[in-house]
Amino acid sequence: MDKTSLYQLIQEQLDPERTGFVAVENFTSLVEHHELQLDPSKLDMLFALVQSNEHGQVCYQELIELMSSKRSSSFRRAIANGRRTLQRDILLDETGLGVYKRFVRYVAYEILPCETDRRWYFHQSRLCPPPVFMAVITIIQIVVFLCYGVMLNKWVLQTYQPEFMKSPLVYHPGHRAQVWRFLSYMFMHVGLEQLGFNALLQLMIGVPLEMVHGILRISLLYMTGVVAGSLTVSITDMRAPVVGGSGGVYALCSAHLANVVMNWAGMRCPYKLLRMILALVCMSSEVGRAVWLRFSPPLPSSGPQPSFMAHLSGAIVGISMGLLILRSYEESLHKQCSWWVLVFSFITFLLFAIFWNIFAYELLGVQIPPPP
């Protein structure tokens, strides 16, 4: 029996009067009678939904959303209101798991703060589609870096080479009319140290986040951080170019770290305090290195060195938009008022940045270094 037939059978036999509610005992017997089984995570959600209703019933619409794995806030709301303690063992007690399932369990404990969410993700996780976005971005960045490294015969401080700054991918204020540069700069890096730092974080944090929250949400967060980074530089550091994917990386990392802090008691990842301190030290060191290169370049250069403001704007995107995304696992973002507030705020910032780039440079008389 397919899902559509099952839904019709549920409504015809268990809710013939179209009241909108179904008794959980009748539904469970119906599923067993027709030899259909619920995933353990879905059964947990069903119990939680029932406990949120004082009459021991489950809303028909919430039941359909649960059966179809539709993103919804129904089960989270039910768990928050329910009084029943789920009887199933925690995921750490699961035995006989294969390599992939053990990795999925590891990701669940790294990213999600709630045991019920972790079980839901564990049973819903599939190999297809794989988390390809962060992997593809990282591969492209490495390939581009290798190409310029071979061409320039230089692997660190590549921005001091005029040929590097002539790349059509680098954001330079003199070329800001070429709008693709506000995004394409993420494929260029100052040197091996910046590329290594960004690639490591993209794979260690970005890939697990993409596995749990999906390619659409994580790619949106990453790209928003990248765009916000170049736009912020064009407003606050108007003479400086920008290279590197740090805006997107800091959006991901800041969102994850903020989510860990706000759900500290629920996070079960090992050594979380030590890892939190280590992550903050590494991120602060990278910002400090970028500030040093911007204002005290170690080598003579023909113009200003890349700005560090992309790091800071990426972190702001992560703490605001990113935190909301990570806290909305299996919830529809478009149904949340705070999501639309953030979207409106970003669009306002985008329009302001566009007008700034069109008019402010001439009005303020900014002396832009000639583009290479």
pLDDT, residue 45, reads: 63
Choose from 34-48, 94-108, 232-246, 290-304 the range with maximum mean pLDDT: 232-246
Residue linked to tokens 């705020």 = 345
Confidence band for 171, pLDDT divided at 50, 70 and 90: very high
Residue type, 122: F
Pick the last residue of a domain from 42, 72, 87: 87
Residue 137 lies in a domain: no
Rounded to an integer, the average pLDDT of 60-83 is 54
Q: Which helix (H) or strand (E) holds 39?
A: none
Same domain, 295 and 174: yes
Residue by residue, DSSP assigns 126-194 as -SSS--HHHHHHHHHHHHHHHHHHHHHT--S-GGGSHHHHT-TTSB-GGGTTSTTHHHHGGG--SSHHH
The SS3 call for residue 242 is strand
Give the chain's largest Cα–Cα span.
Answer: 81
Given a contact cutoff of 8 angstroms between Cβ atoms, the answer to whether 256 and 205 are in contact is: yes
Same domain, 76 and 186: no
If one counts every other C-beta atom within 10 angstroms of the C-beta of residue 312, the result is 21
Same domain, 81 and 166: no
CATH number of domain containing 197? 1.20.1540.10
pLDDT, residue 82, reads: 43
Radius of gyration of the chain (CA): 25
Q: Distance between CA atoms of 326 and 209, rounded to whole angstroms?
A: 8
Q: Distance between CA atoms of 360 and 237, rounded to whole angstroms?
A: 12
Residue 242 lies in a domain: yes
**pLDDT tens, residue by residue, 300-352:** 776 788 999 999 999 999 999 999 999 888 778 888 899 999 999 999 999 99
Same domain, 64 and 177: no
pLDDT, residue 83, reads: 38
Q: Is the pLDDT of residue 127 over 60?
A: yes
Tally of domains within the chain: 2
Among residues 141, 347, 159, the alpha carbon closest in space to that of 249 is found at 141
Residue linked to tokens 């140290």 = 193
Same domain, 322 and 198: yes
Q: Residue 255 region, left (φ>0) first, then alpha (ψ -120 to 50), else beta?
A: alpha
Token pair of 103 as six digits: 């990795």
The SS3 call for residue 370 is coil
Q: Is the pLDDT of residue 77 over 80?
A: no
Give the percent of the chain with pLDDT over 90.
46
Given a contact cutoff of 8 angstroms between Cβ atoms, the answer to whether 156 and 210 are in contact is: no
Among residues 372, 240, 242, the alpha carbon closest in space to that of 311 is found at 242
Residue 276: domain span? 154-364
Same domain, 73 and 199: no
Pick the last residue of a domain from 47, 66, 87: 87
Same domain, 79 and 196: no
Residue 129 lies in a domain: no
Q: Distance between CA atoms of 79 and 84, rounded to whole angstroms?
A: 8
Local structure of residue 112 (DSSP, 8 states) = -
Weakest-pLDDT range from 46-55, 144-153, 212-221, 294-303: 46-55
Mean pLDDT of the chain: 82
Q: Is 128 exposed, middle or buried (0-12, 13-18, 19+ CB in 10 A)?
A: exposed
pLDDT, residue 20, reads: 64
Instruction: Tell me the catalytic residues.
Output: 246, 311
Same domain, 245 and 336: yes
Same domain, 266 and 165: yes
Confidence band for 84, pLDDT divided at 50, 70 and 90: very low
Choose from 16-25, 105-114, 227-236 the range with maximum mean pLDDT: 227-236
Q: What is the pTM of this model?
A: 0.81
Same domain, 73 and 218: no
Residue 141 lies in a domain: no
Give the percent of the chain with pLDDT over 70.
75
Residue 117 lies in a domain: no
pLDDT, residue 79, reads: 47
Same domain, 173 and 263: yes
Same domain, 72 and 180: no
Residue 121 lies in a domain: no
CATH number of domain containing 73? 1.10.238
Please list the residues that pair with 58 across neighbouring strands: 22
Among residues 285, 301, 318, 284, the alpha carbon closest in space to that of 372 is found at 301
Q: Distance between CA atoms of 363 and 135, rounded to whole angstroms?
A: 43
Residue 38 lies in a domain: yes
Residue 144 lies in a domain: no
pLDDT, residue 257, reads: 93
Pick the last residue of a domain from 87, 106, 132: 87
Q: Which helix (H) or strand (E) holds 259?
A: helix 246-262
